[in-house]
Structures are given as structure tokens and as C-alpha cells.
Structure 1
């Protein structure tokens, strides 16, 4: 039975018992030493049988304690029952108390039988030495120490006092005082031991557990999944990442962010089954290991995507956060570390595909990922080697028939891959942060080209959402370029899309206000494709809206599209905004557009994107928009994707 422990934690009890068996070498040496002293006493007294019997008893106790330790080593304490732990403690008590009783008997017999002979001094030294070592030996169990002290010191003290010899009286009083001090200090030592043990356990807990969610951390998770894999059980890994968590943390505060993490962890735990484990492995990253097969793991991920996206009320605020997930079986690679790379690749793909979803790992996804990594390296090299160039597509004023602006379009002529679509390299540049470098170059090159045009012709440049990040001063870049070039600010138009406003709309709007204060014009691009464009018209500091080509394609073939075009034109007029229609490719579209008071028409019906050298002689040309579909060459009649998504 376990006593004197104020902990109900079975793990704590097992550690306390383990301390009793922590120094088997000390017990062995002590047993041999005591048995040798007893045997020596027999020789000193001419073969006293009592000393021989005591030596034999000491050897027997030593064998008993050795067998007890063997039993201890054969039990795994982490998974042992309370009954097994109690048995181990009882065995330790029996060994310690029998040793104390035998040593006390040895000392008493030697003092009373051979009071003034050398063997008495040997017994006194042995008994006092044993008493001195008791307090530290069993600090995890003060009851053992107390019984040992009483069993060893009490009879021995009485034996010393019984002799009435002055020297022995002093020794007896000293032994009694030592026993009292040891008895009273046993609990203090035990408390110190417990405090140290608790501290060690807390440190061990912190080493493998997350402080915010109490889930495993990466270290603890790695330990657990390696054990799962070593057991031969199939393991499927699910990597989870909270979408745009940084924006939530920055805008609502870290206390809300921490509460959101805790809410995510509770949802995870509620959905996991027996044998599944969860961990928070990074700031907004979670991992799940499950013994389910791929189909079961996919079903779990589908539920988690739905559950995690539900709205939460945190600190009086309504917070909605979604999660992206990657799934991969641990057997997808030769090692757990490689399997974690597989699941990270799947997660990366889920984010690329639009977030708030899960993706199952495949070899094809890995190949695409590796090709993307290679392309990232080539993108960095391309920036350094100057492989990028600008093409321009003129925007014509239907009233004057002349180009009033040209949109700058970024092109990458790869020396091995050929022409790479901006739809491929622009998202890559945004993910890697290289877009700020490319964007600054595009702005500078566009302004430099515009300096060679008539002063009535401006240049329009698309700007990525990443260029509005707090770490990039786009206003400072534009201001410096305007000052160095000397170009009139109104000739530069910055085009933005709704995606620029998603993460931090207040910051983006403040940057747009600062740009307009410089005299730069602001255009809202891709109008007609976003669900919230109308609300943006009311709040954004913009001068121009550009009708997206996806909307333009329906003009002339859809009455609804024609009616919407009429409404948009009227709305732009009422809000005093310039209206530009892009992606115009057919005469039918052009005919519809000419009915409205638009300020600019852009599309293949007039000209495809071209180099600055080819554009220059066209800028002064006057075109008759009503006949342009038949008078201007339209090589490659349809625009192959939107190449104007540039920095």
C-alpha cells in the first residue's frame, strides 16, 4: 500500500517508487559491507555463532533485495497498475526495515555482550554509519525512513544507555539526537524531493506539450508517431493550417488569436477517435496522426474542414476562420521525416487551390511541387539576370480615337522553358515575396517608357496585394520614382484588385489615399467579377473602374450582360468615375460599348500587347473605333489568358 503521498497521479506514484530502486549498486555494496563487518566480528570474538548467523541473515536479506530489484526491472512502470506499484513499494519496505532491524540487533548484541572489546567499537561505527545514510537513501518515502530510524536507533540507544558507561552514555545521547533530527527532517527532505520531482515533470511536460492548447508540440508529436510507426500500425498524417491566421492575430489581438487556437484544439479533440493524436506544431499549424486508412482520414478531414470553419464568439467578437489540410499516409516515404514532407506538400497544394479544403497527397502533386521549387530558383536567377521585359497594350478613347493610356504587362522569356505565363510566375513571385522586387522594377520601367510618349498618354501598372504589405513601402517607392523621373503624377495609374483588400483593408486604403495625394490615379481592376465590388466603389479612393474581360465576352450575345453594362456605365457616371472596358475582341462587343460613355477601350480588336518600341509609332495613330475590327490586324484573335496580372 502506498502511503505518505499526497498525489493521486499514478504516474507520480510510480516515479516515487522508482526512486526506491534507483541505486541498486549502493544496496549491493552496503549489504556486502555489513555482512563482512559481521563476519569480521565473529573472527574477532573467536567464532561467535551469533555473528555468523547475523552475517548469513544479512546475505539472505541482500538476495531478497536483489530479487526485488529484478522484479522491478521486469515491470514497465509507465503502464503498470496501482497494485503492481504497491507490491514494489512493499518489497522495498521489507528489505529496508529488515536491514535496519538486523543492524540494530548487531549493534545491541555487540555492545551488551562485548562492552569493552574492539568488536563493540566496530558495531558502533557500523550502526552510526548506517543511520547517517538513511535520510538520503529513501527520501521519496518518509515512512520508510522513520521506521528505519526507529528500528535501528531505538534498541541501539537503549543498549548504549544500559551499559551506564560515561562514554557510551554520550554516544547513546548523540545517537538519540541524530535519530530525532533524522525523523523530523524526513518530511522536509521528502517535500524537497517532491518539489524537484514536480519541477522535472513540468519541464518534461513543457518539452513535449504546447502551452496554449495543451496538445503535443512538434517534439511530442514526433515521439508519438514514431512509436505508432514502430508498432507496425498504419498511420495517416493530416497537416492543418489556419487560413490567414496572422491577419486575425494582428487585427483582433493575440488574446483572441490564442483563444482561437484553443477553440481549434478543442474541435480537433472532439472529432478524434481512439488511437488518434493531435499536436500544435507551429504558430497556426496543427498535426493529426490517425490509424484510419486514406478513405477514413479523408472523411475526418472533410468533417474538420466543416467544423473548423464554423463561426465562433471569442471575447465578444464573431470570428470566422477556415483551415487548409494536407493528407498523406506515413507509408508514402521511407521515413517519418520524409512522410511529413509529403503531407506538407499536400497542405501547400490545398492553399494554392484556394484554402478551406483538404488535398490528398499524390506523386503527381509532389512532381508539380518540385517543379515549382525549381521554378522559384529560376525566378530569382531571372530577376538577377534581367530576363523580364514589359509589353504594352494601348487603351483607346472612343471619342478621340487615340490612345490615352497603355497598360504595362510583364513578360518572362525563359531561356529553356520559353515564354512563361504570368498566371504561373506572378503567384509564385507573390508567395516568395519576390513580387516587391519585380513590382518596383515594373513601376520604374513603365514610367521610363512613358517618358518617351506624348504627355497626353499615361501608363497603367497592376500592383499586387503583397506590395501593400507593412514591410514594403509602396508609397515611398512611387514617390521616389516620380521625383527621379520628373513624370507628371497623373500620367501614372495604379491598378488594384479586390484581393488586395482581403487581409488588411484599412491599411491598403490608407496607402491608396497616400498615393492619390501624390497625384497618382487609382483604378479598380477586374470589376464585375468580385462579389463585393459595389461596396468598394463607395469606400475606395479610386478614379477609374475597369470592366473585366470575362464580363466583356458576353456583350452582344447576352441581353442581361448588355443591361448590366448600361447600369455600370450609369453608376460610373453618377460616381464621377472613369470607365474602361478591357478584353474587347469582336465588332459586336465594340458596338455595344460605343453606346455608353466609356473613357477607354482596351482589347485585341485594336492591338495586342507589344514591346515599347512597337507601341511608340502607334500612339499617335487615330483610329475609327467603329471600323477598327476590320482595319487593324488582330493576330492571335483571342487573348490567351489574363497576362496583365503583374506587379
Structure 2
């Protein structure tokens, strides 16, 4: 505040110089009217010199950066402005007093009286940032002049003296009022400026303030490492718990981030759930900082009475990765994008390799859009056999992309890309339509399983309406359609997803929980989800027959499914040994290479009625285990 008040003393250099020149002209005129009085001549020269000195003081002021100036420097500037104002007041008072005492009834006295009273009246509008300056100015200018007027004993001069006294009193009081208005206005301006560059929830800089600060830091030549932090699935937290909880999380993260900063670090909330840090730390220390942030944010906390666990994805752009701030911001965005792509709750350091892979991904994204437009996708089907009857009771639809130039592209590549871009809703609608259309050619006892991505449950996409419309259009029995979901579908907005699943069940559609045994909370979901089936993940299946622990767990899962009246399907069965281990657990369905690989609809049709001997099946493996790469990418 003090630096801004001192700056106000130097706010009108032109007015000060002009005033000094005008007073000097009046004094010069008095010199002429008095016939060359040397006192007036001396005062004229002194006023011109004083005006020049005050102008030089202002130039020195312009060279000082008040934001970084020391208290001693600011005090010197303030003292210089005060002395200049008081010296000017002294000269004006001396001019008026000398003229009144020595030229009482001459025109020069009238000229001096007008000049002095005009100066006194104008003081109240100057130096409003420092009432002390104004009050001393008034006393210096008024008291000697008032004494001179009284000393003359002239009635007219006594009346003028009374006017001077009243002007002095009024100027004293108005100076304080004007000062209060000035300070209040200054505080308001500072608050508005702070709001313009600050975030109201976290008290950190906003994007505008952050950009201002890092550009100023970059201008000094300091190395800057940029760190971009994004709270994972923040929209789901807002939607599930409310904006009060979301704001509380942002505030808590802002406080935690502030505690971890070092002197010189700049932190900001640059978007809804996005934070940025600019630091002079090197890459190793920036990595350690990011690792600690991931750890700190990932812990459970209580906000607004809610137990909440949040994670963060972090991108790091080391100093020197780009020549400009704008380019560095693009680098950190790429690193953050990669961190999210790799599964969130982690950090990624920008490098040329990360950049090249990002550019390649962007190219595939464009080709993905073209592939959808040109019909480059197809569905393969893998039968699921009933171990009791030995026949296929359903088949799972698996999405494949046959790129005209790149060849087959793994679902592990294009499914996550489709989810991030939102294209999964288009692909998902096509898969549902194509799978139902194909299943119409099968016996009515055979159903079709379709994997559904978490993004298809977004509030902006009416999955239930789409399924209902397709069932009506194709006249397809709802119980023949099974929607497969994974636990990841529930992470962002569990209550909304469960409500959509209940609506699907109301249509008559069956629901299967896929990849059971792969996650960490499957058992808790069994109590909440409206499901008909659980599918044992192939990673668990591959352990069967090799360890007793896996066999015991399989027995427990089978009993649990039986008690909950859920169908049990085991996927990823590849060997005769695995098949033999599964047969004793009363599974309702077996899926895997031991019976058939994914195939076209034309290849599947003759196999549907074909009975297999599940007890004597030979492995159909031909090298390489089955893998999964996303909601539509199962191959086991």
C-alpha cells in the first residue's frame, strides 16, 4: 500500500512543472511592477530552479520498480516529494508576504494576494495520498501570509486574512476527507485487480495471473519448469456429491499445493479442475514434487461430511523443452494427456518420444473418424458354450478395425482413443445394432453379448433409449441381449450408471459384470449392481489347475454366484487342464480358445448347433495367449 501512496505523489509531474512555471511568471511580473525588486527576482529564479529539481526527482522515480523496491528507497522517494512540495509552499508564502508588507496599496500586492489564495485553494486537490504533506503545505503557505496581512492593519487586508484563515481550516478538513476517499478507491482498485488475476476458491492465481507471472519470470531469463495437474474424474465428483463438495476438494487441494511450494514457485488454478505450477526446480526435483502430489492427493479425506478419494494426473515440461512459454504450455499439455492416457493417477515427463507418440495418436484419431465414416469396422463373434449341453448358448460380439493401410489395429489402441474422443458412442450404437441384426439369424435359444463402455453411460448419451429403440426396430427378444460392463463404468458416476442398468433390466435385457476378479472392489459391486451374470477374468482363469489357492478361490466364487442366483461364465479358457479344472465348479458358460477363436458371423452360424464334448475338447491354441484391450476388445 505504501508504494502506491508514494506513487500518487508523483502522479502529476506535468501539473507540478506547469504550476512552477506559472508562479515564476507571476513573480517575474511582480518584479517588473515593483521596478526591479531584487527579492522578487530571486524568488522567480528559485521557483524555476525548484520546478526543475522536482522534474528531475520525477525522472528518478520513473526508473524505480516500486514492486521490487526496498523500504528505504520508497522512503527516500516520499521524502523528496514532501520537501519539494513544502519548498514550493514556502516560496509562495514568501512572495505573498513580501508583496503585502512592502507594496500594501500597489497592484503588485493584489497580484501576490491572488496568487497566494489561489495556491491555498488548490492544495486540497493535491497530494491526497499523504494528508501530512497537504497540512504542512497549508501551514507553510498560510501562516506567514496571514501574519503579514494582519500586520498591515488595513481593514481590507484583515478581511482577506479572515478568508485565508477560513480557507486554511476548510482545506485542513477536506484534505482528510479526500484522503479517505482516495484510500478507499485505491483499496477497491486493488481488490478488483486481485480478483482479475486470482481464483476465488483456492486463492491461487487464475490463468490470467499465472500467464502474467510466468511471462515476467521468463523475461528475466530464469529457467522455468511447467507442471500441469488435473484432478481425475472431477466431473463425476461434482455430479455425485454436489458442487459444494467439489469446491471443498479444490480448496483443499489448493491449500495442500501451497504447502508444497518452494520460494519462487508460482501456482494457479487455470481451469475447472486444472492446476499449474511454474518452478525453477530441475527435472529430478520436479519429478519428486509430482510424485509427492500424486501421493498426497490420492489419500482419502473427509469433505463436507463426505468420505472422498481423488487422484491426479500430472504432466511435466522440463525447462528448456521449448523456446517460448506458449510452446512450453503445449509440451506440458501433451505430457498431461499422456498421463491420462496411461490410466491417470500418475505423472509423465515430456520428451521427444512422448511428443512423437502423441502426434501419432492424433493421426490415428483422424483416421478413426474416417474409418467410422467409411465402414472399416467389423464384428467378430466368440461362442460361449454351456458345459452341460455342450452347445453354444450365446456369443460375444468383439469389435475389430481393419485399417486399409495399417492393417488390423489392436482394440487396445483404438478403444481408449474412441473413449477419449467421444466416438465410442457412435461405435457403440453401431455395435449394438449390428450384433442384434446378426443374432436374428441365430436360433432363438442363442443370445448375444455386447460390451458397453463407461462413456456410453454419460448423461449426454441415452443408452437405455437406444437399446429400447433397437429392440423394437428389430423385434428382438430382450432376454437374448446381454450387456457386459466392467467396474470402470462405475467410477465416474456410480449412482447414475446403476440407475441406467436398472432401466435396462426393466426392458428385459440381461447384465453381466465382466472381468470379475481383476479389480479390487468386485465383491462390493455384487451387492449393489442389478446383474444376472459374472464373468471370471481370464487372468484369473489362467491360474486354475496350477495352484491350490486359485482352485479354492474359484470354488468360493462359484458358491457365491450360486447363493446370489447369478450365472457364472469363465472366459479365457485355453488349455485342457484349465477346462478340467473348471468343469467341477458348475460354471454356466465357458469361453475361450479351447473351443473357438473369435470368428465372422458366417463362420459362427454352422457352429452354433454343433455340439462339443467339453470333457474331451482339444486345445485350439496356436501360440500366444488371449488378451483384452478394452470394453470391445475381448479375444478370449
TM category (shorter chain) comes to over 0.9
Distance 1:311 1:459, change over 3 A: closer
Whole-Å Cα distance in 1 between the matches of residues 147 and 301 of structure 2?
A: 74
Deviation at 1:510, TM superposition (A): 1.5
Aligned to 1:571: 560
Deviation at 1:628, TM superposition (A): 4.0
* Residue deviations 1:282-317 (CA, integer Å, cap 9, x gap): 222222222222112222222332233333333344
1:76 to 38, 61, 65: 65
Contact residue 313 and residue 347 of structure 2 kept, 8 A: yes
Deviation at 1:70, TM superposition (A): 3.5
1:149 to 126, 134, 138: 138
SS at 1:525's partner residue?
strand
1:18 to 7, 12, 21: 7
* Mean CA deviation greater in 296-305 or 332-341: 296-305
1:533 to 515, 522, 525: 522
Distance 1:313 1:547, change over 3 A: closer
Distance 1:494 1:237, change over 3 A: same
Whole-Å Cα distance in 2 between the matches of residues 462 and 373 of structure 1?
A: 25
Whole-Å Cα distance in 2 between the matches of residues 515 and 450 of structure 1?
A: 19
SS at 1:625's partner residue?
coil
After TM superposition, the structure 1 = structure 2 runs for residues 197-596 of structure 1, keeping only pairs within 5 Å, are 197-596=186-585
Deviation at 1:496, TM superposition (A): 0.8
Whole-Å Cα distance in 2 between the matches of residues 171 and 388 of structure 1?
A: 100
What's the Cα RMSD here?
2.4
Are residue 55 (structure 1) and residue 44 (structure 2) matched? yes
* Mean CA deviation greater in 13-22 or 609-618: 609-618
Structure 1 segments of 4+ aligned residues over 6 angstroms from their partners = none
Taking structure 1 as the reference length, the TM-score comes to: 0.92
Whole-Å Cα distance in 2 between the matches of residues 430 and 118 of structure 1?
A: 92
Taking structure 2 as the reference length, the TM-score comes to: 0.93
Aligned to 1:8: none
Contact residue 416 and residue 630 of structure 2 kept, 8 A: no
Deviation at 1:121, TM superposition (A): 3.4
Deviation at 1:412, TM superposition (A): 1.1
Contact residue 410 and residue 644 of structure 1 kept, 8 A: no
1:65 to 50, 54, 76: 54
Are residue 180 (structure 1) and residue 169 (structure 2) matched? yes
SS at 2:67's partner residue?
helix
Are residue 641 (structure 1) and residue 627 (structure 2) matched? yes
SS at 2:358's partner residue?
helix
Distance 1:387 1:166, change over 3 A: farther
Whole-Å Cα distance in 1 between the matches of residues 145 and 596 of structure 2?
A: 113
Contact residue 294 and residue 345 of structure 2 kept, 8 A: yes
* Residue deviations 1:87-134 (CA, integer Å, cap 9, x gap): 222221211112112112222333343344333333233223322321
Contact residue 298 and residue 312 of structure 2 kept, 8 A: yes
* Mean CA deviation greater in 340-349 or 516-525: 340-349
* Mean CA deviation greater in 315-324 or 468-477: 315-324
After TM superposition, the structure 1 = structure 2 runs for residues 125-144 of structure 1, keeping only pairs within 5 Å, are 125-144=114-133
Contact residue 315 and residue 332 of structure 2 kept, 8 A: yes
Contact residue 197 and residue 206 of structure 2 kept, 8 A: yes
Aligned to 1:6: none
Contact residue 382 and residue 596 of structure 2 kept, 8 A: yes
Whole-Å Cα distance in 2 between the matches of residues 169 and 616 of structure 1?
A: 122
Whole-Å Cα distance in 2 between the matches of residues 270 and 627 of structure 1?
A: 65
* Residue deviations 1:33-58 (CA, integer Å, cap 9, x gap): 11111112211222122211110121
Whole-Å Cα distance in 2 between the matches of residues 272 and 426 of structure 1?
A: 38
Deviation at 1:13, TM superposition (A): 0.7
Whole-Å Cα distance in 1 between the matches of residues 44 and 13 of structure 2?
A: 20
* Mean CA deviation greater in 224-233 or 437-446: 224-233
Deviation at 1:639, TM superposition (A): 5.1
Contact residue 436 and residue 467 of structure 1 kept, 8 A: yes
Are residue 615 (structure 1) and residue 604 (structure 2) matched? yes
After TM superposition, the structure 1 = structure 2 runs for residues 80-119 of structure 1, keeping only pairs within 5 Å, are 80-119=69-108
Whole-Å Cα distance in 2 between the matches of residues 564 and 121 of structure 1?
A: 112
Contact residue 423 and residue 645 of structure 1 kept, 8 A: no
Contact residue 483 and residue 509 of structure 2 kept, 8 A: yes
* Residue deviations 1:196-215 (CA, integer Å, cap 9, x gap): 11111112222222222222
Contact residue 548 and residue 582 of structure 1 kept, 8 A: yes
Whole-Å Cα distance in 2 between the matches of residues 312 and 521 of structure 1?
A: 37
Whole-Å Cα distance in 2 between the matches of residues 500 and 514 of structure 1?
A: 16
Whole-Å Cα distance in 1 between the matches of residues 629 and 126 of structure 2?
A: 79
* Residue deviations 1:18-37 (CA, integer Å, cap 9, x gap): 11111111111111111111
* Mean CA deviation greater in 445-454 or 239-248: 239-248
Whole-Å Cα distance in 2 between the matches of residues 210 and 26 of structure 1?
A: 39
Q: List runs of 5+ in structure 2 lacking aligned partners.
A: none
SS at 2:221's partner residue?
coil
Distance 1:358 1:23, change over 3 A: same
Distance 1:569 1:310, change over 3 A: closer
* Mean CA deviation greater in 356-365 or 559-568: 559-568
Contact residue 585 and residue 638 of structure 1 kept, 8 A: no
Deviation at 1:174, TM superposition (A): 4.0
Whole-Å Cα distance in 2 between the matches of residues 317 and 475 of structure 1?
A: 30
Whole-Å Cα distance in 2 between the matches of residues 152 and 560 of structure 1?
A: 101
Whole-Å Cα distance in 1 between the matches of residues 299 and 382 of structure 2?
A: 45
Whole-Å Cα distance in 1 between the matches of residues 531 and 297 of structure 2?
A: 36
* Residue deviations 1:493-516 (CA, integer Å, cap 9, x gap): 000111112222222222111111
SS at 2:182's partner residue?
helix
Contact residue 580 and residue 599 of structure 1 kept, 8 A: yes
* Mean CA deviation greater in 94-103 or 72-81: 72-81
* Mean CA deviation greater in 484-493 or 618-627: 618-627
Contact residue 405 and residue 459 of structure 1 kept, 8 A: yes
Deviation at 1:195, TM superposition (A): 0.9
Deviation at 1:139, TM superposition (A): 0.9
Whole-Å Cα distance in 2 between the matches of residues 309 and 180 of structure 1?
A: 67
SS at 2:205's partner residue?
coil
